[in-house]
Structure 1
Amino acid sequence: MDYEFFKDWFTLEHIMELIEKYRSFGPIPGILLPLIEAFLPFLPLFLFVMANANAFGLWLGFLFSWIGSTIGALLVFLLIRKYGQKKILGKIKNNLQVQKLMVWVEKHGFGPLFILLCFPFTPSAVVNIVAGLSKISIAQYILAVLTGKAVMIFTMSFVGYDIKALITQPVRTAIVGLIIFILWYVGKRIEIKMNMSVEKDRNN
């Protein structure tokens, strides 16, 4: 793909025009763009989220972006989990760095995945692939994706919807921080209960 074409096409104004053009389809364009990004990680997720926030409003824009990004991540994870043993993915799985990440994910579970998925510039495609190749449970990964993506997408939506508010309205910024902490705490408590349940089943 030509760089100039990429630069001209992927702008906030152009993405918003695209969403408005297909507005008759309701939330589908807003959901579809972040979903596609999960399979094509070179696409600008930040622009898609900002465009949704401006086109649909902060909360609906966040919701549509979160749904699309979450579904996309889970689909990639499930595809890698199912076909991870195929030759086409063999080289990736045998990569030393990937193996280290797999062991790390399997050992720590929800916590580090949640943190990685919270940050907007984390290569989530890599996280999805490593998690899919690892032995982490599907339930743990779904939990991490739902909560981690919620934090990341809401942060993007919040910043994209009103950048000035980060400085002029510190209370709103503090609320974002509080939401991050609550989601992390709730996710951690759920993970503990899940691990206790798994351990109980093993003992039985």
Structure 2
Amino acid sequence: MKEAFSNITHKNWLIWGGFLLLLVFLILNRQIITLLVNRDIKATQDFLDNNMLYAVMFMLVIMILQNSFTVFPLILVISINITLFGFINGFLWSWITSIIAAIAVFYCVRYLFQERLIEKLKPELLEKIDANGFAYVFQARIFPLVPTSLVNILAGLSTVKIWPFVLATTIGNFLYFFALALIPAGLLSEEIDETLIWVVLVGAILVYYLLKLVRKKRNHT
């Protein structure tokens, strides 16, 4: 009983400490946060250009926020990274930080918020996620209408293991982020951008089924 109470207290301290750090971050960066909310990429770039190390860490925190609450559109975060760091580095930093952010949210939900959130979901939904694991995460990553935060939260509430979650996130985000990165890079016109994105996504689904086939063959050998 005493140990259980101690665990609850520890969790509460972690939760409130996290919220306090988030509040401090938002207050200290309220000017640039406002620019992000207003989707002013040029002004955000001008603000961050003077300190690239700060820009790198700031965009990591923004990606964590995006993976937690979907406050900012993903395309906006990727666009700012590409504007700051160039196409290749901006795409890679967006991809890497998305994996870090997804893992952070996954663990926070599973070990800090699971008891508070799991009661609000239908058991049937979690059963489907539990049964599909890698497939659920991968398909959700490459489907444009599914918020990244929702994927992380549902995976954290389910029994999906960390390594299938990380693998599906790594592959899915690489494909989807690359498609999104082409837009701010100016490689797509307004007429064909959506078409090319869907081509990439269909290709991603084919990659998934290929991986699934390889896995089945390994299990049979």
Q: Which TM-score tier does this pair reach, normalised by the shorter chain?
A: 0.7 to 0.9
Pair 1:177–1:122, CA change in 2 (3 A): closer
Cα pair 2:82 2:89 within 8 Å, conserved: yes
Q: CA RMSD in A?
A: 3.5
Cα shift readout 1:64-116 (whole Å, capped 9, x = no counterpart) = 00111111111110111223444xx1xx312344x332111111121232111
Which of 90, 95, 101 is 1:66 aligned to? 95
Q: Does 1:11 align with 2:49?
A: no
Cα pair 2:78 2:91 within 8 Å, conserved: yes
Larger relative contact order (Cα-Cα within 8 Å, sequence gap ≥ 6): 1
Q: CA deviation at 1:11?
A: 2.0
Aligned to 1:94: 119
Which of 164, 168, 188 is 2:212 aligned to? 188
Structure 2 unaligned blocks of 5 or more: 1-25, 27-33
Aligned to 2:184: 160
Pair 1:175–1:161, CA change in 2 (3 A): same
Q: Does 1:115 align with 2:139?
A: yes
Pair 1:127–1:190, CA change in 2 (3 A): farther
Cα pair 1:19 1:30 within 8 Å, conserved: no
Which of 2, 13, 21 is 2:50 aligned to? 21
Q: Does 1:55 align with 2:84?
A: yes
Cα pair 1:143 1:187 within 8 Å, conserved: no
Which stretch shifts more, 155-164 or 122-131? 155-164
TM-score in terms of structure 1 length: 0.73
Quote the Cα distance in structure 2 between the aligned partners of 1:113 and 1:56: 28
State the number of aligned residues: 189
Counterpart mapping for 1:125-140 below 5 A:
125-140=149-164
Which stretch shifts more, 140-149 or 11-20? 11-20
Quote the Cα distance in structure 2 between the aligned partners of 1:176 and 1:76: 26
- Aligned identity (percent) is 23
